[in-house]
Amino acid sequence: MEQALQHFRASIASATGSKRALRIRGGGSKDWYGQALQGEPLDTRAHTGIVAYDPTELVITARCGTPLAEIEEVLAGQNQMLAFEPPHFGAGATIGGVVASGLSGPRRQAVGSVRDFVLGAVLMDGNGEVLHFGGQVMKNVAGYDVSRLLAGSLGTLGLILEVSLKVLPRPLLETTLRFEADEDDAIRRLNEWGGQPLPISACAWHGNVLIVRLSGAEPAINAARLRMGGEEVAQAEPFWAELREQANPFFTDLAPSESLWRLSVPSHVPPLSLPGEQLIEWGGAQRWLKTDASATAIRAGAQQAGGHATLFKGGDKSAGVFHPLAPAVARIHRNLKNAFDPAGIFNPGRMYSDL
């Protein structure tokens, strides 16, 4: 792996010297996410392999170019998983891209996001220096803030060389329930259930149908089914896999005039008065919106509800993919970028045009 590191250093030094951008890229499965791509590709896939995995400690450490599918296969062999269910969005997905994109799947509502599972990281900064943050054990707290800061940074702070992630055992049992419910009723039910000791691990509402997944021990699931009611869904695994990978018709049937927005709002917020079609996840806290409405209108609606909006797919990216930052937060972003990437060569403009 030393040869790959030397290649990375040489590429960074050359880019710094010539003042040209580098586009950090693994399998390219999430190239569409964020602002327009800039710079010469810096391929991470040569830096691959699982560095350490101790099932008893519930921690796995892998190099950035390691395929996500490979890691999931190894974990499955020990009946363990990446509990935040990261989407692949393509066969080439790498673990570096998982952390850099910061995207989580349906189980995020129950267990937390990518950031919550990052224990440590190794980063190559804009000077070609290798920096170590965090650790490989769950109780090691040194440097956690910096390690987790990399989750969702889209490669703008540096090249993630390695990550250590907490893993969890697979549930003993899972079952999925189906309910007929309009949007108001679905949000009400999700918030009522969220305040009870129920083993809900995922949910999705769309088209007046609410789907809820229960995960855990058989007695807990049976008790929850009696309390909640609903109709059991047979063979529900494909549904949750399609939801995670956005392979169902709601996400794939996007009209040319439509854009797909991800709205993050408090779970109790009533139905949003925004034009378009919605799909609700994460107990009501994540609301997907297909619409031809303007970015200004969508962001105003999300902000009024106490949340924010991200342009996920389609639409005019000149309006900004991510919700505009408050001035104080923007200064923090700028200071971090200057500290880790003083020459501004890593994925410039991928998150915000001025970073």
pLDDT at 141: 44
Fold of the domain spanning 2-169+333-340: 3.30.465
Give the residue extent of every domain in the chain: 2-169+333-340, 173-245, 249-319
Two tokens, residue 80: 């363990």
Q: Which of helix, strand or coil describes residue 298?
A: helix
Neighbours of 331 (CB within 10 A): 11
Which residues of the chain fall short of a pLDDT of 50? Answer: 137-144
Residues 6+ apart with CB under 8 A from 88: 29, 68, 69, 245
Which tokens is 283 given? Answer: 């107990």
pTM of the model: 0.94
Position 161 scores a pLDDT of: 98
Distance of CA 169 to the CA centre of its chain: 20
Decide if domain 249-319 falls under CATH 1.10.287. no
Residue 136 confidence (pLDDT):
60
In whole angstroms, give the CA distance from residue 204 to residue 186: 9
Residue 355 structure tokens: 């970073």
